[in-house]
Chains A and B, each alone.
Chain A
Amino acid sequence: MAEPFVRVRGLGKEFGGHAVLRDVDAEIRPGEIVGLIGENGAGKSTFMKILAGIHEPTAGQVYIEGQPVAFRSPSDARRAGISIVPQEFNLASDLTVEENVFLGAELLGAGRTLDLARMRSRTAELLAQLGANVGPADRIDRLSAAQKQLVEVSKALAFDAKLLILDEPTTMLTVVEIERLFALMRSLRERGMGLVYVSHKLAEVKTICDRVIVLKDGDKVREAAIAEIEPPEMARCMVGRELREIYPPKRAASGPLVLEVEGLSSPGAFTDVSLTVRAGEILGLAGLVGAGRTEVAEALMGLRPSTGVVRVTGRDARAHSASAAVRRGLGYLSEDRQGSGVVTAMGVAENMTLVSLPRYCSVPFVVDRARERQAAQTWRDRFDIKVRDLEAPLESLSGGNQQKVSLAKTLDPGPQVVIVDEPTRGVDVAAKQEIYRFLAQLAGKGAAVLLISSELEEIIGMSDRVVVMREGRVAGELPASALGEHEIMYLATGLEKTSAT
């Protein structure tokens, strides 16, 4: 067996006295693909950020080819042969592919000027190796997600990386693109490169990895050769219990129709979308990233122009502005919490009443702060939000608590139709379970819930019925009795899923 390229011993990291990684031993050899899995907050990203030189460990030691090293910056790590392809691409969108590949490490010619010719030919060579249909002079903002990812990989390879870390590389990719990425990973492995594949898609881990490391709450709880571990077992190690338990029991929903959408279209985003949600029902809206699910939600909320029919409890509810949508009984929890969900610089109470503020004004336009505070306290107790000071800025809260505040903000106006878009993105498993319970309670009280999610388990675990979108159209609808990952993926991709399991 080859000597490990990277070895870590007793690795630990604390943030402000809170341990996010504890006493982890691990090694990665040349020519293997190691899966690194765990729930959000398990320590995956901390682990890889230490390897990539972004964080310094507070305990333990990293060895490269047997030598102890202490990275002070990402460029230290890159010089040692470790490159990372981040989940959120780190590319300057106004620059070209070649400018990005060599960004911060430009090749210089005579007189310390840029050696443009050498950089261009090297980039072209790398792109050809990866089989990328991208030119060195293309601008980043014209590229698709998959193409950008290949540019990130080229960037890593330009510096003779011996270890490549891929952080959730498949979340933005189609099935075909994932296959292509896996083929590329295998060929890099053949060339003797070590790869770390960070993901929570367990079937993919099973497909591509040679070995898997499971982290939970900062501890390494399991390490196994891929032949010895199946996805259900991985899930149990990650969560520490059966996955089924985290979803509340389903209810039979037979209430009247609350939300009716007929032939809704928005140019450039989606076409002819029709769906209905009953009182007390949770309708799952599934599909790949880019299928148009979020755009449907935005159109319903009046944030995007649309044509077609929208009715809430039988009354016309097609909105031209978000305030009109709110008045007609719609509420939306945005998928992008920091970008469009909550104002991180504002206080907890102020965020909770941001949508419903007109209701807290006693004298016209003057905010009744006592009443506002009372409402915020009610939400805090109901959602068990861990914050003592309701004036505390939201940026001081954890992701899960921020998400609960965002949900409180959505629900405070008392909507009849609640659209939740990726409601558990970036929250830990405990908060996840609580959010599922709140959604079930909400439906139990007669609200119509539209659940948009990219996590198939979540869609299957929560929904009474599922509508699947593909490329801006409704691809099909599945009743509770026919809900399965295979059925959803078939509709979402239009292809039989043959290879990913």
Chain B
Amino acid sequence: MTAITANELFQKVRQVDKERYAALVALVILTVISSFLSEYFLQWQNLLNILRQVSYTGIIALGMTFVIISGGIDLSVGSMAAFVGSLGILALNALAGRSQPLAVAVAMAVALGSGLACGLANGLLITKGRIAPFIVTLGTMAIFRSLSLYMKDAGEFRSESSLFGSLGSSAPGRIPVPVIVMVALAAALSFVLRRTRYGRYVRAVGSNARVARYSAIDVDRTRLIAYTLTGLLVGVSAILIAMRFNSVGTSTVGINYELDAIAAVIIGGTSMAGGRGTIWGTIIGAITLGVINNMLNMVGISTYLQGTVKGLVIIGAVFIQRQRQ
């Protein structure tokens, strides 16, 4: 009897854990290789640097995880980041003369609020307008970018608040603020995905929307919340970027963020077809992308070639997942 259970346990470890920890194992291997390639790699400062660099797209990727598990996609997040970041700086500068703390608070509220509104707009067009997510967000991607460029003639919104910029470079306990935000949000959203009713509904909707509808689940609302959440997280990310540079470049901020966010989600083991995925997988996916960039920089490979490596990693990750099924 015990022999059977031991055998079963072994089987289970082989099946489940491979799937769940494949991305983590890949990341560990990558880290080991990197530490051999460069002696600086494992230094605390470098590791924190990687985490900070990935946190801006990582935060967005958390929302993208919900969207993709629900069976959708959001291409507009990069442009949206530039758009809501610009609005945030506009609000900041309008009030910076009077009270800096108030200005910063209002800028944050504006960025989060407009992010939420943009996400809500995406979600409403998709659910009430019955338009495919790819099409809707392709359209809003163009709209958000174009509006940002128009507002400043493709230039840069500079912050007039010193407090704003100093918040961006603050690092309590040496850990940069964006990293703390990303980890806290990941913990909260992982709980939402795994343990709440909403998380269960997201997986059911992505797995089979018809079954979900027949099971008295409000499919439209489930999807709408996923896009709105993503918009809100874009707002969080945008304000952190704006603080970091103390400005928002309308033609530079958020470029290719949608690709990095989607890549992080996919490398993290979330199924592009929906229904399946984890938040921690996405975090690992985001860090993997960061480690690759960092390693290639240290080894001195041309920045132009880094995209090739990233592309190969994305395709490879999905290929391995396909083999496993």
Contacts and interface: CB of A to CB of B under 8 A. Distances in A.
B partners with A: yes
Interface of A: 301, 303, 321-323, 325-326, 332, 334, 339-346, 350, 354-355, 357-358, 361, 365-367, 369, 409
B216 interface: yes
B197 A340 contact: no
A214 B195 CA distance: 50
B211 A343 contact: yes
Q: Determine the main DSSP class of B at the interface with A.
A: helix
Given A323-B218, A339-B211, 10 more contacts: A301-B214, A323-B216, A343-B212, A344-B207, A345-B208, A354-B200, A354-B215, A354-B217, A366-B195, A369-B195
Interface of B: 195-198, 200-201, 203-204, 207-208, 210-218, 275-276
Contact of B203 (A332, A340, A346, A367): A346
A339 B210 contact: yes
Contacts of A334: 214
B142 to A, nearest CB: 29
26 contacts: A303-B213, A321-B216, A321-B218, A322-B214, A322-B215, A325-B216, A334-B214, A340-B211, A340-B214, A343-B204, A343-B207, A343-B211, A343-B275, A345-B208, A346-B204, A354-B211, A354-B217, A355-B216, A357-B197, A357-B200, A357-B201, A361-B197, A365-B197, A365-B198, A367-B196, A409-B215
Given A322-B213, A339-B210, A342-B211, A367 B218 contact: no
A341 B211 contact: yes
Contacts of A325: 216
Contact of B204 (A301, A321, A354, A358): A354
A283 B217 CA distance: 28
Closest CB pairs A-B (n = 8): A322-B216, A323-B216, A354-B215, A340-B214, A340-B210, A326-B216, A343-B207, A365-B196
A125 to B, nearest CB: 40
Contacts of B207: 343-346
Contacts of A340: 208, 210-211, 213-214
Given A341-B214, A345-B275, A350 B200 contact: yes
A10 B312 CA distance: 51
A343 B196 contact: no
A367 B204 CA distance: 15
A250 B207 CA distance: 40
A131 B110 CA distance: 70
Given A345-B275, A345-B276, A346-B207, A367 B200 contact: yes
Contacts of B203: 343, 346
A292 B276 CA distance: 35
Contacts of A344: 207-208
A339 B218 CA distance: 17
Contacts of A367: 195-197, 200
B219 to A, nearest CB: 10
Nearest to A353: B200
A461 to B, nearest CB: 27
Contacts of B216: 321-323, 325-326, 355
Contacts of A342: 211
Given A321-B218, A345-B275, A366 B196 contact: yes
A460 B4 CA distance: 47
Contacts of A301: 214
Contacts of A332: 214
A147 to B, nearest CB: 26
A326 B215 CA distance: 9
A343 B208 contact: yes
Nearest to A343: B207
B223 to A, nearest CB: 15
Contacts of B204: 343, 346, 354
Most buried by A among B195, B204, B211, B213: B211
Contacts of B210: 339-340
Nearest to A350: B200
B200 to A, nearest CB: 6
Contacts of B215: 322, 354-355, 409
Contacts of A323: 216-218
Nearest to B210: A340
Contacts of B212: 343, 354
A303 B210 CA distance: 10
Nearest to A319: B216
A369 B197 CA distance: 11
Contacts of B275: 343, 345-346
B228 to A, nearest CB: 16
A349 to B, nearest CB: 11
A409 B197 CA distance: 16
A100 B116 CA distance: 48
Contacts of A341: 211, 214
A144 to B, nearest CB: 23
A296 to B, nearest CB: 15
Most buried by B among A332, A354, A361, A409: A354
A334 B208 CA distance: 14
Nearest to A327: B216
A339 B207 CA distance: 11
Contacts of A343: 203-204, 207-208, 211-212, 275
A473 B310 CA distance: 61
Interface centre among A361, A365, A409 (most CB of B within 10 A): A365
A365 B202 CA distance: 13
Nearest to B192: A365
A327 B208 CA distance: 23
B202 to A, nearest CB: 12
Nearest to A363: B196
Contacts of A366: 195-197
Contacts of A345: 207-208, 275-276
Which of A323, A358, A367 has its CB near the most chain B CB atoms (within 10 A)? Answer: A367
A339 B209 CA distance: 9
Nearest to B219: A322
A140 B195 CA distance: 45
A312 B200 CA distance: 30
Contacts of A303: 213-214
